[in-house]
């Protein structure tokens, strides 16, 4: 699905030098690279504050802790996303209020938000799934009207740019109260282990997020609140400092691959290509097709036999996952999310995809339908 080895080969000298320098300094925790990376990422994204942490799941949890949500508070979250988004809601004793998603763009259905709002609702968590921004203008407007917080899960969309109707532009993760992201190796900006970050434009919230990520202390051994231990390693920060310089190029390469897939499949009756939002650029964390009248399992087996990996993100919507059945949802509650789980398939897409490799993938896929 991704080719991290070839990507490393391209930047090997820079990365090796950065790693060696951390080892020479032995400042493995909170070394200067961590702060440098936070500042560089703030500059890149336009976020006022970037707080690095251990992974994207922690980023979501710290965000919800910093906003002082109380057990029993309700959080609106798409039924079609990676489990982490919902897991932290449940862990903090909050109640996930699932919402269905758009069939074409996979974002939460903004026209259903208001019907889910109760006196207990505290937040909306849009997920910028597969690499393009949700309808942030509508989400922010509804949140403002009902005094709700917005936490953007930007784990799949770092660098995507959203354009508001007045022409103002902002990057994914910088529009809500808080944005969260992940540097898991296969993410668009991936490190060589685990990593994550939290974005905010609010000075006070930034201090609180930083404090919670560091055992609830602003001053060493003075604990003002219950926190967690969630740090980005210096080694990972050093690697990310190198890779951030290439992120725009990486996004462009992913778009080139996506454009070729689009061109090859756009008029196909069995393969529905991903629809691009008019108000967001796409960074194609995944290139995800919807299969129409195709036995997906058989198609996957065929691809595997031809040496082509494919993945299903995600096979089961969250309201039907065993761990979340206790919230009382049933089959049929979110028909689009449920159908997408049967239909979607993601194809290989990465920054070092060679033209011949992609041509083979396209030809092999088209041959299946001959």
Ligand X SMILES: *Cc1c(COP(=O)(O)O)cnc(C)c1O
Torsion-angle region of residue 182: left (phi > 0), alpha (psi -120 to 50) or beta? beta
User: How many residues of this chain interact with ligand X, rule: CB under 6 A?
Assistant: 15
In the complex with ligand X, the residue whose CB is nearer, 282 or 358, is: 282
CB under 8 Å to 94, separation ≥6 — which residues? Answer: 64, 69, 71, 72, 73, 74, 75, 122
Q: Report, in Å, the least distance between residue 214 CB and ligand X.
A: 18
Q: Are the CB atoms for 42 and 73 separated by under 8 Å? A: no
Cis before 225 (ω within 30): no
Ramachandran region of residue 93, left (φ > 0), alpha (ψ -120 to 50) or beta?
A: left
Residues 6+ apart with CB under 8 A from 207: 218
127 lines the binding site for ligand X (CB under 6 A)? yes
Taking CB under 6 A as the criterion, the residue among 182, 214, 253, 277 binding ligand X is 182
Q: Is 81 in the site for ligand X (CB under 6 A)?
A: yes
360 belongs to the binding site for ligand X (CB under 6 A):
no
Least spacing, CB of residue 86 vs ligand X, in Å:
10
Which lies closer to ligand X via its Cβ, residue 81 or residue 251? 81
Separation between Cα atoms, residue 245 and residue 100, nearest integer Å: 36
Q: Rule CB under 6 A: is residue 200 a binding residue for ligand X?
A: no
Q: Which one of 37, 69, 82, 284 is in contact with ligand X (CB under 6 A)? A: 82
Nearer to ligand X, 176 or 196 (CB): 196
d(CA 133, CA 174): 11
Structure-token pair, residue 331:
């089959």
Question: Considering only 2-10, 97-105, 149-157, 254-262, which stretch makes contact with ligand X by CB under 6 A?
Answer: 149-157
Verify binding: residue 288, ligand X, rule CB under 6 A: no
As measured in angstroms, the least distance from the Cβ of 217 to ligand X is 23
Find the binding residues for ligand X in span 6-45 (CB under 6 A): none
Minimum Å gap between C-beta 157 and ligand X is 9
Residue 177: CA atoms inside 13 Å, Cβ hemisphere, count? 23
Tell me if 255 sits within 8 A of 350, measured CB to CB: no
Verify binding: residue 132, ligand X, rule CB under 6 A. no
Looking at beta carbons, which residue is closest to ligand X?
56
Q: Which residue has the tokens 């942030």?
A: 136
Q: Residues interacting with ligand X, by CB under 6 A? A: 55-57, 81-82, 84-85, 127, 153, 155-156, 182, 184, 194, 196
């Amino acid at each position: 699905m991704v080719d991290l080895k070839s990507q490393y080969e391209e930047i090997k000298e820079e990365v090796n030098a950065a790693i060696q320098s951390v080892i020479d300094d032995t400042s493995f925790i909170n070394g200067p690279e961590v702060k440098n990376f936070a500042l560089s990422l703030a500059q890149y994204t336009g976020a006022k504050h970037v707080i690095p942490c251990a992974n994207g799941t922690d980023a979501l949890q710290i965000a919800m802790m910093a906003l002082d949500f109380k057990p029993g508070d309700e959080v609106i979250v798409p039924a079609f996303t990676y489990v982490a988004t919902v897991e932290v809601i449940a862990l903090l004793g909050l109640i996930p209020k699932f919402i269905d998603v758009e069939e074409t763009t996979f974002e939460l259905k903004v026209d259903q938000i208001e019907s889910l709002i109760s006196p207990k609702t505290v937040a909306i968590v849009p997920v910028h799934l597969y690499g393009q921004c949700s309808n942030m203008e509508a989400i922010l407007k509804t949140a403002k009207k009902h005094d709700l917080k917005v936490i953007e899960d930007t784990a799949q969309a770092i660098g995507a740019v959203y354009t508001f109707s007045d022409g103002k532009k902002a990057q994914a993760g910088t529009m809500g109260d808080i944005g969260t992201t992940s540097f898991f190796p296969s993410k668009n900006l991936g490190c060589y282990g685990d990593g994550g970050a939290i974005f905010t434009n609010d000075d006070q919230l930034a201090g609180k997020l930083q404090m919670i990520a560091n055992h609830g202390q602003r001053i060493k051994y003075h604990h003002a609140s219950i926190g967690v231990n969630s740090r980005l390693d210096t080694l990972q920060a050093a690697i990310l400092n190198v890779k951030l310089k290439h992120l725009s190029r990486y996004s462009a390469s992913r778009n080139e691959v996506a454009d070729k897939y689009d061109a090859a499949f756009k008029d196909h009756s069995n393969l529905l290509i991903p629809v691009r939002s008019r108000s967001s650029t796409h960074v194609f964390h995944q290139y995800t097709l919807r299969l129409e009248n195709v036995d997906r399992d058989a198609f996957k087996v065929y691809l595997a036999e031809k040496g082509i990996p494919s993945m299903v993100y995600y096979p089961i919507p969250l309201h039907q996952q065993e761990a979340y059945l206790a919230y009382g949802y049933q089959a049929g509650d979110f028909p689009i999310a449920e159908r997408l789980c049967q239909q979607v398939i993601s194809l290989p897409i990465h920054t070092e995809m060679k033209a011949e490799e992609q041509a083979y993938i396209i030809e092999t896929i088209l041959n299946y339908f001959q």
